[in-house]
């Protein structure tokens, strides 16, 4: 099965970090920026690093961007450039387009012109860090959508010594346990059953209903 290929348009901190991470996982990545210093910064690890203007469809076509599976417009401060890039990528037939936006208005516009997904990384990371600070049990979390999040939790004190079936977390708290890490260095165990008894050292991978989870936090139950 062919692995996805990516084009990263804009190689600032956000774009170059994405390009490096994807490359480290073995994906083909084209990095594009008008600034040669940004291009040089990623040239050692991406498949292809090109100095080009991604608002010019002919330049995108000559680079071969139409052949990638995913394109990321990683510069969010210049709306006109991002809109033009989305339109060009749509015309070139790129299957999935993600764009970065600096605010909600930019996000709405980029979605309307055809971006499949728009992210606001500073806002999302700020919310993620704040939520992790609000609960002593949250180790890490990722928002799936407005209603649900995936979290890695230290086992709450009230859960220790009880089985999953007895806790009935899904019905009572909107928490679905996907897996358990029994020690900090052990692999996640996704084969747990309803009879599994939670231990004090456990780390739980869960999907939570955000509203119910926030209520539990407010009540001091997590």
Report pTM: 0.65
Domain boundary among 81, 101, 119: 119
Residues 24 and 75 reside in one and the same domain:
yes
pLDDT band for position 201 (50/70/90)? very high
- Which structural domain range is residue 201 located in? 124-218
Average pLDDT in the chain: 88
The contacts of residue 169 (CB under 8 Å, 6+ apart) are: 159, 175, 176, 177, 206
Q: Residue 144 maps to which CATH number? A: 3.30.70.1450
User: CA 71, CA 87: separation in Å to the nearest integer?
Assistant: 12
Residues 115 and 133 reside in one and the same domain:
no
Give the model confidence (pLDDT) of 81-125 as tens digits: 999 999 999 999 999 999 999 888 999 999 999 999 998 887 776
User: CA 159, CA 156: separation in Å to the nearest integer?
Assistant: 5
Residues 84 and 148 reside in one and the same domain:
no
Domain boundary among 119, 141, 168: 119
Residues 34 and 75 reside in one and the same domain:
yes
Residues 12 and 54 reside in one and the same domain:
yes
Our count of domains for the chain comes to: 2
Residues 174 and 70 reside in one and the same domain:
no
Domain boundary among 65, 88, 119: 119
The contacts of residue 90 (CB under 8 Å, 6+ apart) are: 97, 114
- Predicted local distance difference test score (pLDDT) of residue 23: 93
Residues 92 and 170 reside in one and the same domain:
no
Residues 27 and 115 reside in one and the same domain:
yes
User: CA 196, CA 199: separation in Å to the nearest integer?
Assistant: 9
Beta carbons of 63 and 89 less than 8 angstroms apart:
no
Beta carbons of 175 and 197 less than 8 angstroms apart:
no
| pLDDT over 60 at 220, yes or no | no
**Residue with tokens 């309307």, as numbered in its chain:** 112
pLDDT band for position 216 (50/70/90)? low
Beta carbons of 169 and 192 less than 8 angstroms apart:
no
Residues 173 and 192 reside in one and the same domain:
yes
Residues 180 and 87 reside in one and the same domain:
no
Give the model confidence (pLDDT) of 121-173 as tens digits: 877 767 666 666 666 677 777 777 777 888 888 898 889 999 999 999 888 88
**Residue with tokens 């690890």, as numbered in its chain:** 45
Residues 11 and 68 reside in one and the same domain:
yes
Nearest to 31 by CA among 58, 9, 52, 14: 9
Residues 188 and 209 reside in one and the same domain:
yes
């Amino acid at each position: 099965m062919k692995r996805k290929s990516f084009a990263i348009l804009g190689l600032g901190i956000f774009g170059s970090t994405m390009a490096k991470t994807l490359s480290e996982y073995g994906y083909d990545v084209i990095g594009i920026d008008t600034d040669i210093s940004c291009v040089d910064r990623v040239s050692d690890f991406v498949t292809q690093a090109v100095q080009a203007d991604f608002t010019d469809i002919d330049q995108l076509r000559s680079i071969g961007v139409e052949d990638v599976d995913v394109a990321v417009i990683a510069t969010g401060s210049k709306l006109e450039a991002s809109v033009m890039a989305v339109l060009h990528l749509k015309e070139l037939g790129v299957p999935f387009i993600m764009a970065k936006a600096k605010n909600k208005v930019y996000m709405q516009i980029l979605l309307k012109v055809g971006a499949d997904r728009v992210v606001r990384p500073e806002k999302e990371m700020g919310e993620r860090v704040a939520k992790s600070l609000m609960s002593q049990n949250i180790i890490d979390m990722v928002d799936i959508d407005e209603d649900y999040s995936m979290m890695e939790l230290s086992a709450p004190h009230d859960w220790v010594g009880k089985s999953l079936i007895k806790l009935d977390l899904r019905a009572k708290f909107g928490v679905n346990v996907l897996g358990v890490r029994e020690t900090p260095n052990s692999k996640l165990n996704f084969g747990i059953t309803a009879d599994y008894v939670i231990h004090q050292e456990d780390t739980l991978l869960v999907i939570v209903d955000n509203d119910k989870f926030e209520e539990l936090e407010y009540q001091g139950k997590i």
